[in-house]
Amino acid sequence: MVTCAGELLLVILRVVGGHPSFAEVYKTEWTPENMLELRDRVTDLSVHSLFLGRGESFALSAREYPAIKRNQ
């Protein structure tokens, strides 16, 4: 899970042969029954970049940190 631009996103990291191969990112939403539902798959993070690690993740704005490139 990571917050990005005020939204809570679920990141699913796919592992092939013991090594991370790619990630899928989904918007999430809480239902009235307090269940977390996956919504749309995110394919564009606009001006943000996701940084994924083991047990932690974060997002930064490329506008605020010009040294980084946005995810495309």
Q: Which residues share a beta bridge with 70?
A: none
What was the pLDDT predicted at 21?
A: 73
DSSP H helices, 1-72, are: none
What was the pLDDT predicted at 72?
A: 61
Q: Where are the domains of the chain?
A: 2-44
Q: What is the mean pLDDT of residues 40-44?
A: 91
What was the pLDDT predicted at 33?
A: 93
Which residues, other chains included, contact 4 with Cβ-Cβ below 8 Å and sequence gap of 6+?
45, 48, 50, 59
pLDDT of 64 over the 80 cut? yes
What was the pLDDT predicted at 9?
A: 93
pTM of the model: 0.74
In 3D, which of 3, 12, 11 has the Cα closest to residue 60?
3
CB atoms within 10 A of CB 42: 18
What was the pLDDT predicted at 5?
A: 87
pLDDT of 71 over the 80 cut? no
